[in-house]
Amino acid sequence: MTFALETSKGLQRREKILAAARKQLIEKGYNHFVLREIAAQCGMTIGNLQYYFRTRERLLEAVTRTALFDDLKTLDAISQSAPRGKAQLRELASAILRKWLGENDKIYAVASFLSRSEPAFRSLLSELYGQFFDHLIVVLKKLRPRLHRQTLLDKARLITAVLDGAVIQLRTGAVPTTSGARARFVENVCTQVVAIGSE
């Protein structure tokens, strides 16, 4: 870690850059995720921005990690709250779907697309999924405390696949766009997540 990041001012600048980069990615997309534009939004030179994030890929990696940490905080809050068991797992599935259908979806979509051709992003997503699975296992362990870790990991992977697939279907219009149809679909997805977790 560099000295600049250890100072309060350095941390504030880093957070400002991340907020501007997130906004740029969400509002304008990956093709407009340009360091020069992000630096201008932050009122700094590109050289100053590159002190914190050397390349566009490193900045995108940091934005993606920030989105994941936000999701993990949601998982942690739900895993520490009452009620426990199936209701908790249903609440978790519903909350994650809301988050993934929000702004984080665009961030993860870009990272997922890049992972197909960029080994660094493939590695990043593998690491991030691993962290997500570990947090999900904590909730599953409370529901099924006698299951072995490998079985819990398999369940976490399957639940994540269901949630990922649901987001793709909702985003691509495979599910009718009426609010009633979407609500029924989300309810069915949450029911399936609970079934996977409790079987």
- The more confident residue out of 135 and 162 is 162
38-50 per-residue burial string, b: 16 or more CB within 10 A, e: under 16: bbebbebeeeebb
- Model confidence at 82, pLDDT cuts 50, 70, 90, reads low
- Model confidence at 56, pLDDT cuts 50, 70, 90, reads very high
- pLDDT in the model for residue 6: 59
- pLDDT in the model for residue 80: 84
- pLDDT in the model for residue 4: 47
Residue 101 DSSP class = T
- Statement: residue 154 has pLDDT above 80: yes
Kindly list the structural domains of the chain, giving each domain's residue range(s) and its CATH number in brackets, ordered by start: 1-54 (1.10.10.60), 64-198 (1.10.357.10)
- pLDDT in the model for residue 178: 86
Mean pLDDT across 113-142: 91
Mean pLDDT across 65-91: 86
Mean pLDDT across 15-41: 94
- For residues 31 and 24, what is the distance between their CA atoms, to the nearest angstrom? 10
H helix runs in 29-101, sequence order: 35-41, 46-52, 56-79, 86-100
Mean pLDDT across 77-83: 80
Lowest mean per-residue pLDDT among 56-65, 99-108, 181-190: 99-108
Mean pLDDT across 45-55: 95
Q: Both tokens of residue 133?
A: 């699975």
- Statement: residue 195 has pLDDT above 90: yes
Chain Cα centroid distance, residue 84 = 23
Mean pLDDT across 150-178: 93
Q: Indicate the average pLDDT of the chain.
A: 90
The size of the chain, in residues, is: 199
Q: Both tokens of residue 161?
A: 């696949």
Mean pLDDT across 91-104: 90
